[in-house]
Amino acid sequence: MSKTFLAVGECMVEMAPTGNGTFSMGFAGDTLNTAWYARKCLPDSWNVGYLTAVGQDQVSEQMLGFLKQSGIDVDPVRRLDDRTVGLYMIQLKEGERSFAYWRSQSAARCLAADGNHLRSAIGGVDLIYFSGITLAIMSEEDRETFFAVLKEARLAGAKTAFDPNLRPRLWESADIMRACVTKAAGLCDLVMPSFEDELAYFGDTTADVSADRYLAAGAGMVVVKNGPEEVICASREDRQAFQPKPVLDIVDTTAAGDSFNAAFLAEYLTSGNVGASVDAGARLAGTVIQHRGALVDCFEAA
């Protein structure tokens, strides 16, 4: 019987500079990036789906077309008549990238607004993956619905994985972000933070402190990524540190964490081996950061 990996969140239109004053259009977003890489890493016996909300307009259709073409199941997607998808533009100034966003009214903000839709999209899946951004874009009421549906899904046997992906600007306040992220972590089998964010917004002094904090919140296992530094994998019973292979020619670190999470989860869901999972995550992220852009098709060559 096939299994299902369901990522939940927002996919946006990406406008990236081509170098000659024009922009090329693509699609990206943290949870979508992870779904895209998960589709590449998981065997065919796994279905990879994406739960978001889009409009009924042409660009929404194009986004769904892109997802389908990538092998991602769009059945869970909610369609809305009165909204469309969010957009961001990458700008380059003296080699430095900056981002401008148009997402405050995006359809994805309503992805959890219909409890019945949410229940039917999440019911029966094997792994639910979401991030702090997934939570940040929801209303307070929808977050509660989402948490309730997560709890039901876990009782029915689903595993849950969460990357806190701390972005205070998307939240009502930094305190609400910390409270919601801590609550979400307590509902998850796997919490996969990046230490840089945890240091900045929780004030953790080391990756072990981040791991302990999420374990205390109720997480089953915490996988703390830390750029080129050791990855810490901690549960209540066990703690291991793994050193990623050095990557020398780094071109663009976009989606390092998203791709790591995908390859880690794909290995973990199939073998259950933590060391092999970190190795898979670090190998994919190490390749992704040697290329420009979030979605790097490095699989044929690998």
Q: Mention every residue, 6+ apart, whose C-beta is less than 8 A from residue 191.
A: 161, 162, 163, 164, 185, 214, 219, 221, 222, 223
Instruction: Report if residue 243 touches ligand ADP, rule: CB under 6 A.
Output: no
Place of tokens 């024009």: 22
- Residue 77 binds ligand ADP (CB under 6 A): no
Choose between 19 and 246: whose C-beta lies nearer to ligand ADP: 246
Q: Residues 207-226: x/- map of binding to ligand ADP (CB under 6 A)?
A: ------------------xx
- Contacting ligand ADP within 188-207 (CB under 6 A): 194, 196
Of the residues 250, 292, 297, 299, which one makes contact with ligand ADP according to CB under 6 A? 250
Instruction: State the minimum distance, in angstroms, from the CB of residue 212 to ligand ADP.
Output: 18
**Rounded Cα distance, 184 and 159, in Å:** 13
Does the footprint of ligand ADP cover residue 289 (CB under 6 A)? yes
252 is catalytic: no
Does residue number 231 form part of the binding site for ligand ADP (CB under 6 A)? yes
8 A C-beta contact, residue 231 and residue 250: no
Q: How far is the CB of 246 from ligand ADP (least distance, A)?
A: 6
Q: Which is nearer to ligand ADP, 64 or 282 (CB)?
A: 282
Minimum gap (Å) between residue 223 Cβ and ligand ADP: 9
- Min CB(278)–ligand ADP separation in Å: 8
**10/142 with CB nearer ligand ADP:** 10
The span of 62-70, 83-91, 202-210, 283-291 binding ligand ADP (CB under 6 A) equals 283-291
- Choice from 121, 247, 265, 269 touching ligand ADP (CB under 6 A): 247
Residue 293 lies near ligand ADP (rule: CB under 6 A)? no
Instruction: In angstroms, give the least distance from the CB of 138 to ligand ADP.
Output: 21
Active-site residue among 142, 204, 258, 279? 258
Residue 164 interacts with ligand ADP (CB under 6 A): yes or no: no
Q: Is 282 in the site for ligand ADP (CB under 6 A)?
A: yes
Minimum distance, C-beta of residue 238 to ligand ADP, in the bound complex (Å): 19
Asked whether position 266 contacts ligand ADP by CB under 6 A, the answer is no
Contact predicate 164/132, CB 8 Å: yes
Q: Order across the sheet with 221-224: list the strands.
A: 46-51, 3-8, 127-131, 159-163, 190-191, 221-224, 231-235, 239-242
List active site positions.
Answer: 258
Give me the residues that bind ligand ADP (CB under 6 A), please: 194, 196, 225-228, 231, 244, 246-247, 250, 253, 256-257, 260, 282, 285-286, 289
